[in-house]
Amino acid sequence: MKRRLFLTLIAAATATSASMIAAPVAQAADEVKIGFLVKQPEEPWFQDEWKFAEMAAKEKGFTLVKIGAPSGEKVMSAIDNLAAQKAQGFIICTPDVKLGPGIVAKAKADKLKMMTVDDRLVDGSGKPIESVPHMGISAYNIGKQVGDGIAAEIKKRGWDMKDVGAIDVTYEQLPTAHDRTAGATDALVAAGFPKANIVAAPQAKTDTENAFNAANIALTKNPKYKHWVAYGLNDEAVLGAVRAAEGRGFKADNMIGIGIGGSDSALNEFKKPNPTGFFGTVIISPKRHGEETSELMYAWIKDGKAPPPLTLTTGMLATRDNVSQVREQMGLASK
Ligand code: FCA
């Protein structure tokens, strides 16, 4: 009798530990859960990324967990939270690229696969962390497209370049922002724009309000120009400059702003009945950055196939006249 009870207990214990081991394995096999963390959930670009990531989730049949993570603490707790929910990986646009080593360590400790989007993590010496797969925009070239577009429009309007000031809305702590505005500056200078007329307007954060404040200072300090142009890392930066210029009486006729993005911030501007100083935007692809990154993460989890280490996407210049056609060409028309 004693022996029998003992055997029963052994059998029960074995069954329990077997099921405890089997449970997570079974879940991993059929239930994929992927986090998508963005630094500025209120920005239309990130809303679009999420929307396209949702499309991937629907098509492939995984669960997408969207998390707004505007600070380092939020990122760290979000990663722990994902691990607690049994997610297997996440995609992140970090609020600060310098958090790189900390985020990598946290993901490793929580055994989560990780890929970055838009903003690439850097290590302690400011070098990109190449071990984390990344999809970003080809920042310098896209910046050049902005500068070329502005230069072409200045020439078309017949402005004398010496009478034109350029507001360069900068955000130097973010490498992709630095590369974008550097590309625009270089293209303008190559087109004959006087370097001395380019006014750096550093913004404290990458949103319209902070760009507005930065541009206002630039305008106040430089009352001599008859016309203005503006560029920055995204549409929000340029919209801030455009609004500041409007406040000083520089409207569509005397302002050429070209942004980067092509999400609702730009589209709403083009929908206004009268043109504004927001002349154009280089449309980039939230579809690739949202849908493709999610698909890559899914394949990594499901089939063990790691994403390419680095993917750089391109953009196309659009103005209010051709925005629909350009969106169509970029596969964004159905939005
Ligand atoms: C950065 C910017 C965003 C967007 C993205 C592609 O994260 O802050 O506005 O341009 O790159």
By most ligand atoms within 8 Å of CB, the mutation choice from 118, 140, 146, 263 for ligand 1 is: 118
CA of 43 to the centre of ligand 1 (A): 9
- 234 in ligand 1 pocket by Cβ < 6 Å? yes
Output the CA 118–ligand 1 centroid distance in Å.
6
Return phi, psi of residue 39, to 5°.
-75, -30
Mutate which of 36, 96, 119 to test ligand 1's pocket (most atoms within 8 Å of Cβ)? Answer: 119
Mutate to test the pocket of ligand 1, among 49, 50, 93, 172 (most ligand atoms within 8 A of CB): 93
Phi-psi category of 118—alpha, beta or left, where left has phi over 0 and alpha has psi -120 to 50? left
pLDDT score, position 180 = 98
- Rounded to the nearest angstrom, the distance between the alpha carbon of 170 and the centre of ligand 1 is 13
Neighbouring residues of 270: CB distance < 8 A, sequence distance ≥ 6: 278, 319, 320, 323
Atom 1, ligand 1: residue with shortest CA distance: 118
Q: Using the atom order of ligand 1, give the atom closest to the CA of residue 261.
A: 10
Which pLDDT tens digit goes with each residue over 288-304? 999 999 999 999 999 99
Per-residue DSSP letter, 206: S
| Model confidence pLDDT, tens digit, residues 258-291 | 999 999 999 999 999 999 999 999 999 999 999 9
Distance CA 182, CA 188 (A): 10
Phi and psi at residue 65, to the nearest 5°: -110, 110
Position 333 scores a pLDDT of 84
Q: How far is the CA of 223 from the centre of ligand 1 (A)?
A: 31
Q: Specify the pairing of strand 63-68 against strand 89-92.
A: unpaired
Residues of CATH 3.40.50.2300 domain(s) within the chain? 33-132+286-313, 139-283
Query: Quick one: fold of 33-132+286-313?
Result: Rossmann fold (3.40.50)
Q: Give residue 15 CA to ligand 1 midpoint distance, Å.
A: 51
Among 206, 210, 239, 287, name the best residue to mutate to test ligand 1's pocket (greatest count of ligand atoms within 8 A of Cβ): 206
Residue 290 makes CB contacts below 8 A (sequence gap 6+) with: 36, 48, 49, 50, 51, 52, 53, 55, 56, 117
Architecture of domain 139-283: 3-Layer(aba) Sandwich (3.40)
Residue located via tokens 């001395």: 196
CA of 109 to the centre of ligand 1 (A): 28
Strand partners, 199: 167
Measure the CA–CA gap between 137 and 309, rounded to whole angstroms. Answer: 14
- How confident is the prediction along the chain (335 residues), in pLDDT tens digits per residue? 445 544 444 444 444 444 444 444 444 456 999 999 999 999 999 999 999 999 999 999 999 999 999 999 999 999 999 999 999 999 999 999 999 999 999 999 999 999 999 999 999 999 999 999 999 999 999 999 999 999 999 999 999 999 999 999 999 999 999 999 999 999 999 999 999 999 999 999 999 999 999 999 999 999 999 999 999 999 999 999 999 999 999 999 999 999 999 999 999 999 999 999 999 999 999 999 999 999 999 999 999 999 999 999 999 999 999 999 999 999 998 65
Whole-number Å distance, alpha carbon 142 to ligand 1 midpoint, is 12
pLDDT on residue 332: 92
Number of DSSP helices (H) and strands (E) in the chain, helices first:
12, 12
The predicted structure's pLDDT at residue 2: 47
